[in-house]
Amino acid sequence: QSSVSLYGMADVWVGRVKTDITGVGSASETVLESGGFNTSRLGFKGSEDLGGGLKANFNLEGALAMDNGTAGGLSFNRQSWVGLSGGFGEIQLGKPWTPYDDTRSMANDTFNANFASSWTTWLGYEDNPNNTIRYNSPNFGGFSGAFAYSLGEDRASSPNNKASNLVSFSLNYANGPIVAGFAHQSQKVEGLNGIDSTGILTGLAATGKTTYNLLNGSYDFGVVKLVGGVNQAKVQPDGFADVKANEFNIGVDVPLGAGFDIGVGVARSKLESGGTDLSKTTGFSIGAKYALSKRTFTYAAFNRTKAEIIGTGAEVKNTLFGVGIQHNF
Amino acid sequence: QSSVSLYGMADVWVGRVKTDITGVGSASETVLESGGFNTSRLGFKGSEDLGGGLKANFNLEGALAMDNGTAGGLSFNRQSWVGLSGGFGEIQLGKPWTPYDDTRSMANDTFNANFASSWTTWLGYEDNPNNTIRYNSPNFGGFSGAFAYSLGEDRASSPNNKASNLVSFSLNYANGPIVAGFAHQSQKVEGLNGIDSTGILTGLAATGKTTYNLLNGSYDFGVVKLVGGVNQAKVQPDGFADVKANEFNIGVDVPLGAGFDIGVGVARSKLESGGTDLSKTTGFSIGAKYALSKRTFTYAAFNRTKAEIIGTGAEVKNTLFGVGIQHNF
Amino acid sequence: QSSVSLYGMADVWVGRVKTDITGVGSASETVLESGGFNTSRLGFKGSEDLGGGLKANFNLEGALAMDNGTAGGLSFNRQSWVGLSGGFGEIQLGKPWTPYDDTRSMANDTFNANFASSWTTWLGYEDNPNNTIRYNSPNFGGFSGAFAYSLGEDRASSPNNKASNLVSFSLNYANGPIVAGFAHQSQKVEGLNGIDSTGILTGLAATGKTTYNLLNGSYDFGVVKLVGGVNQAKVQPDGFADVKANEFNIGVDVPLGAGFDIGVGVARSKLESGGTDLSKTTGFSIGAKYALSKRTFTYAAFNRTKAEIIGTGAEVKNTLFGVGIQHNF
């Protein structure tokens, strides 16, 4: 009588990664890695009809490292939540994705693949915080919104006796060929177990705040889909100067027919502090997919990302090339 | 041809916990936690009919932390065993629950929820030791018994060249409105990997013995179910004085109809050594459930537990309030 | 629409293990352990028909410790791969078994059980390396072959700027009562994350190479199955003298009818360096199986293994006796 359903994704690629650092030299390696296109995963989910349109839902999803069998043990570190849904929308309690992350992934360059230029250039953020309450609105003629609040649960280690928290919300529109979204996320670190697993503040200060504002969208012309977005991130470490990131990405996904698709993307992130430019990171990515079925495709990927420290000439170049296969189950 | 069945429970709650320590102050925190009512879990189990009434059975069950996706990796740390069952009863080999734990949970206050007063006041014990052989008798007109023996496998680290062990057995009676049970458990720690994961001895001595004797039961009057139990625990650390715990709990579970149930419990544990009272812990718990279906309910919980060190005036007060949802799959 | 299938094996035994060291004494322990016959496991696998004879396949399989519920967390450390199969054979990407390991297990003494004499005497090897590309040929009238290449991905830590690697291939023949195979494996350790998880080189040198050449087979006479094999291993640690291992095993598996089977094996491994004998390890194993069904059997096992350091009189004797049950799901 078990109602749970298993699902997952197995994505493995073989390729070559290269890092160039000015004045230091370059290093390259041939690798077989998991999750070239999307992160491999194993999940369990289920839904129970409670009558009157109300449902009880849950989801447990863990990332898999297909190349080494998940060395650290299977952990439902991607999603783990339980909730209720009905005419009012949906409530999720646990560790869901943030609305900001959903909007970010909804219209991203190069098929939103893991090797997309925006993922290798833009500032990191917390995408699935622990201890989260999330609300998803119903769909109103294409419009939908979501709100999430995450509890830091670290008052004891906080200098000012407050707990860390994360707030994330989004307003999205999807109708026919148009997808557009606005999303905001704010990560406040007050104590030691702070909610900033991206470690953006770690190098600067123990506590502080990071905020993100994203506007993105896509338009599907049929012969080509245009995607793009702009993002502003602001890091405000306590006791240090603010750092601002101005970021954009743009891309085209082209269906060539017979199961072939090509996606290309360019992205940039510029960091400044007090009006002075600090660094500039530029990424270029191109990917090709060939569908073997609805659940299986092979792909080839290339990404080149260059990070420059302004005024010093110092550069770090990362190059990746790989071919892989993704199977969904 | 796989005969395995998946099952589980997702239980998440939001609430506030508070700790008061006399002369030190108080601290509170808003939390979103897993397993407010019962521990969230994911399990796999199966049974194969071997003919002639004999069955091969197995069970793998791991605890889940729904609020963070099981940070430590999925481990079948709740149950993992394989065995045979038939007219003779059932044999389980591996890591099953102890008979003492089953009887303890069979008639406990406040729905036997994790926030029940007895769980926050009574002395801890080892509930699912490793390396265990368990036998469950058939049911004889309401009577049933169970016996378990656990191997410490730590002879090499034991001063007297003996391995640690755990013995647990129970005699239970369940018939119509009456449930009654007697259970005994004895945990003998001889070596470093001793079977006492509760750590009761750790603070006192490396080796020793802890025994538990429990008598409990419930009577269901229909409009109200009365539950209660008395427990005596004796800690005998090698080279230190014995410590005795005298414990009781009492509770009522009240079905209010339309899916509503209320459970209330009071429990106490008094520790004494050589005729001198050492400490007194008193707990009060109240919980309300509202069934959304046979597999899903929401709940509200309150627990207040006070531990006093006799003669010093020192007190630790813990307060918990939360609301949650539990979904079984 | 999930196509994944769950499967596994639960194998638990109770017994006694004893270690004798000359001049030191002996130690014995009563134990309840997992995987007496075969390693307990939980797995997920699936296959998708892509049309035209092509299939997409995946497999995730983790070892289970049934006696303690997998203390370290469930990890798909036995197999985790995704691939394609068709008329050309099969490609697997991820962490599959090596061809050498398959041939080794195909014709091994004492049912190839974990307590078989060859497993307790022969030199260890890497059986399922990370980051592996494996190809399995189709079956040509009983003949089949396989080839695997594993990437060390540790160039950065390698003194000579090369990555570690593992090469393994096999040529097998199976037709009617005859099974025969040749397999080769070469493990080259260049850097810190070297592919030699067996640690054979660790005690001697950080880097080096170990090669294995195996010839084995079995012939099923019906009333008895004869199995045997010879193996040559060569350890070539950088900066130290080579060590050679000459190994053989021989066994008989006897079906006694009514579900009873008995298997007996003898194996030896002799180590020499520069023409001088270093050590000699001899093992004897006997196992009896009794089938309760196609998926469940009970067993009794005995293994005695003696390792002698040549010329010193020093000996280590290990004795194991146990009875167990294995259930496949």
Pairwise CB contact (< 8 Å): B68 & A131: yes
Count of CB atoms situated within 10 Å of the CB of C286: 18
pLDDT at position C1 over 60: no
Q: What is the pLDDT of residue A3?
A: 66
Pairwise CB contact (< 8 Å): C56 & A296: yes
Q: If you ran DSSP here, which 8-state letter would residue C229 be given?
A: E
What would the pLDDT profile of C62-93 be if each residue is shown by its tens digit?
888 888 887 677 888 888 888 888 889 999 99
- The shortest C-alpha distance from B161 to chain A (Å) reads 35
Number of folded domains in chain A?
1
pLDDT at position A297 over 80: yes
pLDDT at position B124 over 80: yes
Average pLDDT over residues A53-70: 83
CB C11 within 8 A of CB C302: no
Q: What is the pLDDT of residue B300?
A: 92
CB A62 within 8 A of CB A74: yes
**ipTM of the shown complex:** 0.85
In B, which residues are within 8 Å of C290 by CB distance? none
In C, which residues are within 8 Å of B133 by CB distance? 14, 32
CA angle B70, A93, C72 (to 5 degrees): 5
Q: What is the pLDDT of residue C156?
A: 82
Count of CB atoms situated within 10 Å of the CB of B249: 27
- pLDDT band at residue A36 using 50, 70 and 90 as cut-offs: confident
The residue range of the domain holding B113 is 5-328
Average pLDDT over residues B118-133: 93
How many Å from the N-terminal Cα to the C-terminal Cα in chain C? 21
Q: What is the pLDDT of residue C2?
A: 46
Pairwise CB contact (< 8 Å): C293 & B84: no
Residue C113 Cα to chain centre, angstroms: 10
In A, which residues are within 8 Å of B6 by CB distance? 2, 4, 6, 44
DSSP strands (E only) in A132-204: 132-136, 143-151, 165-175, 178-189
What would the pLDDT profile of B234-252 be if each residue is shown by its tens digit?
999 998 999 999 999 999 9
Instruction: Please give the full DSSP string across C105-150, using - where no structure is assigned.
Output: HHT-SGGG-TT-HHHHHSPP--SS-SSEEEEEPPPBTTEEEEEEEE
What would the pLDDT profile of C201-236 be if each residue is shown by its tens digit?
766 677 899 999 999 999 999 999 999 999 999 999
Nearest to C29 among B81, B133, B155 (CB): B155
Average pLDDT over residues C124-153: 93
Q: C72 vs C34, which has greater pLDDT? A: C34
What would the pLDDT profile of B254-285 be if each residue is shown by its tens digit?
999 999 999 999 999 999 999 999 999 999 99
Chain A: residue whose CA lies nearest to C77: A69
In C, which residues are within 8 Å of A31 by CB distance? 131, 151, 153
What would the pLDDT profile of A85-96 be if each residue is shown by its tens digit?
888 999 999 889
Pairwise CB contact (< 8 Å): B50 & C6: no
For residue B207, the domain's CATH number is 2.40.160.10
Q: Residue C297's beta-bridge partner residues?
A: C291, C326
In A, which residues are within 8 Å of B295 by CB distance? 3, 48, 56
Q: B299 vs B22, which has greater pLDDT? A: B299
In the block, tokens 């080494």 appear at A68
In A, which residues are within 8 Å of B324 by CB distance? 93
Instruction: Mark out chain B residues that contact chain C at CB-CB < 8 A.
Output: 2-4, 6, 44, 46, 48, 50-51, 54, 56-58, 60, 62, 72-84, 93-95, 130-133, 151, 153, 155-156, 163
For B311-322, letters b (16+ CB in 10 Å) and e give eeeeebebbbbb
What would the pLDDT profile of A110-122 be if each residue is shown by its tens digit?
999 999 999 999 9
E strand or H helix that includes residue B243: strand B243-257
pLDDT at position B59 over 90: no
- The shortest C-alpha distance from A84 to chain B (Å) reads 9
In B, which residues are within 8 Å of C30 by CB distance? 151, 153, 163
Pairwise CB contact (< 8 Å): B56 & C293: yes
Q: What is the pLDDT of residue A58?
A: 85
Nearest to B93 among C29, C65, C325 (CB): C325
CA distance C136 to C132: 13
Nearest to A30 among C44, C48, C151 (CB): C151
Residues C271, C275, C278, C283, Cα dihedral to 10°: 40
What would the pLDDT profile of B7-39 be if each residue is shown by its tens digit?
888 888 888 888 888 888 888 888 888 888 888
pLDDT at position C36 over 90: no
CA distance A49 to C271: 66
Give which of B217, B246, B209 is closest to B231, Cα–Cα: B246
Residue C37 CB burial class (10 angstroms; 0-12, 13-18, ≥19): buried
In B, which residues are within 8 Å of A155 by CB distance? 27-29
A interface mutation test: which of B7, B12, B30 has the most A CBs within 10 A? Answer: B12
Q: If you ran DSSP here, which 8-state letter would residue B118 be given?
A: H
- Secondary structure class of A74 (helix, strand, coil): coil
CA distance A76 to A68: 17
Up-side HSE of residue B10: CA atoms within 13 Å toward CB? 30
- pLDDT band at residue A20 using 50, 70 and 90 as cut-offs: confident
Q: What is the mean pLDDT of chain B?
A: 90
CA distances from C150 to A324, C75, C101, C164, C196 (A): 16, 20, 14, 8, 11
Q: What is the mean pLDDT of chain A?
A: 90
Q: What is the pLDDT of residue A209?
A: 94
pLDDT at position C240 over 60: yes
Count of CB atoms situated within 10 Å of the CB of B260: 13
Q: Residue A94's beta-bridge partner residues?
A: A81, A132
- Secondary structure class of A185 (helix, strand, coil): strand
Chain B: residue whose CA lies nearest to A84: B325
Q: What is the pLDDT of residue B69?
A: 80
Average pLDDT over residues B140-157: 92
Count of CB atoms situated within 10 Å of the CB of B170: 25
Average pLDDT over residues C228-255: 95
pLDDT at position A51 over 70: yes
pLDDT at position A197 over 80: no
CB A63 within 8 A of CB A78: yes
pLDDT at position B1 over 50: no
